[in-house]
Every structure is written in C-alpha cells, then in structure tokens.
C-alpha cells in the first residue's frame, strides 16, 4: 500500500513540476494519432502509434527532444496514402517533417505554417493537389523545401521569398503557373539549388 502511495505521489509531483510537458506531449500524440487514422498504412509502419501511451516519444518514426516534445517525423518511402490533417500544425517544436515518396494526396494544410521551428519540409514524390499555402512563408527557419513531383497548381507564393534561411527549394514537376519570383531569398538561388529549367515544365516564366 505504501508503495502505491509513493508512486501516485511521484506522478502527481511530476505533473505539478512539469504540467506543460505532459499536456504538450499528449496534445502532440493526439495530433499524430489523428494523422494515423487519416492514412492508409498497408505495411503497418504506424503500428506503434498507440494513443494510450503517455507521449508519442516511444513511437517508431518519431523523435522527441529532452522535454518529450516531437521534433522529427520520418515517414519517407512508407507506402502511405490518404491525406494530411490540419492538426499537424500543433507540433510546435517540429523541425523535420519527412513524408516523401508516398502516395499522399489532397491539399497541403495551411496549418503547416504554424510549424515555426521547421527546418526541413519534404513532401516530394506524392500526389498533393491544390496551391502551395501562403502560410509556408512564415517558416523563418526553413532551410529545405522540397515539393517536387506532385500535382500542385497555382502560382509560387511571394511569401516564400521572405524565408531568408532557405537553402534548397525544389518545386519541379508540378502544374504551377505564373512567374518565378527573383527577389528576396529567391535571388540567391543557383540553378542547382532552385532548378529553373525544371520549373519551366510547370508553365512558369522567369
């Protein structure tokens, strides 16, 4: 009985000392589980994503920092299909979102613009449709943005030129139109870092 009391007291003390960590971890776990329920997963790569656990830090393909907050989601080449969910925008400390080489479709959620810690957004080789969200221009720490080989439409948002940290941008092999911006961070790109020749297949003009 005394042992049970000690365990309960310890848990209560941890909650009192780090209440935000517990709330944040649960919120992030809920967000990722919502993503799981929205995806088809024929190879069961998301099998470990158990919403009954305290936080998602023990799930495969998820990496957390020392505060049990999600900083990486690595699901590239996982044969996933379905659509992304706006709840991904709740992963406030996420730095890497790697979803390349799947068959994910539908729009890119504008809520991804809330991921202000994001360094790398790799959504290439999927079946995304619709426009590139203007909100991605808020990702001031973003260094790698690869949206190539999808079915995106519309113009390149001018807001992307405000991302001064941007080093690699690939929007090739979509159905984009309009003008390729040449101001802001876009003025620093070389053909290797921003393949203009391939962008032209999008009916873009320099």
- In whole numbers, what is the pLDDT of the chain averaged over residues? 86
Mean pLDDT of 58-77: 97
Cα angle: 73, vertex 74, 76; to 5 degrees? 135
Q: How many DSSP H helices and E strands does the chain contain?
A: 3, 14
2-205: CATH topology: 3.80.10
Confidence band of 183 (pLDDT split at 50, 70, 90): confident
Give 190 or 10, the one with higher predicted confidence: 190
| Three-class SS state of 161 | helix
Q: What are the residue boundaries of the structural domains of the chain, listed by start?
A: 2-205
- Do the Cβ atoms of 39 and 25 come closer than 8 Å? no
- Do the Cβ atoms of 93 and 65 come closer than 8 Å? yes
Q: How far is CA 95 from CA 7, 41, 82, 109, in A?
A: 34, 24, 23, 17
Confidence band of 202 (pLDDT split at 50, 70, 90): low
Lowest mean pLDDT of 18-32, 99-113, 152-166, name the range. Answer: 18-32
Confidence band of 24 (pLDDT split at 50, 70, 90): low
Paired tokens of 162: 């405000």
Show Cβ contacts of residue 159 under 8 Å, excluding neighbours closer than 6 positions. Answer: 134, 135, 136, 137, 138
Read off the pTM: 0.83
| Three-class SS state of 17 | helix
Whether the pLDDT of residue 20 is over 80: the answer is: no
Confidence band of 199 (pLDDT split at 50, 70, 90): low
Give the per-residue pLDDT at 179.
Answer: 86
Cα angle: 45, vertex 46, 47; to 5 degrees? 95
């Amino acid at each position: 009985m005394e042992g049970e009391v000690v365990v309960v007291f310890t848990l209560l003390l941890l909650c009192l000392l780090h209440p935000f960590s517990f709330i944040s971890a649960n919120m992030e776990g809920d967000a990722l589980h919502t993503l799981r329920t929205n995806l088809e997963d024929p190879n069961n790569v998301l099998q470990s994503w158990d919403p009954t656990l305290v936080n998602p830090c023990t799930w495969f393909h998820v990496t957390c920092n020392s505060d049990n907050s999600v900083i990486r989601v690595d699901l590239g080449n996982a044969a996933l299909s379905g659509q992304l969910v706006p709840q991904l925008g709740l992963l406030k400390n996420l730095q890497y979102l790697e979803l390349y080489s799947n068959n994910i479709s539908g729009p890119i959620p504008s809520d991804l613009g809330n991921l202000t810690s994001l360094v790398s957004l790799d959504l290439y080789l999927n079946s995304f449709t619709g426009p590139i969200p203007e909100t991605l221009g808020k990702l001031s720490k973003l260094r790698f943005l690869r949206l190539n080989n999808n079915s995106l439409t519309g113009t390149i948002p001018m807001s992307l030129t405000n991302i001064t940290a941007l080093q690699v941008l690939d929007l090739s092999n979509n159905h984009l139109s309009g003008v390729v911006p040449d101001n802001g961070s876009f003025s620093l790109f070389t053909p290797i870092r921003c393949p203009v020749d391939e962008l032209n297949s999008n009916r873009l003009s320099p």
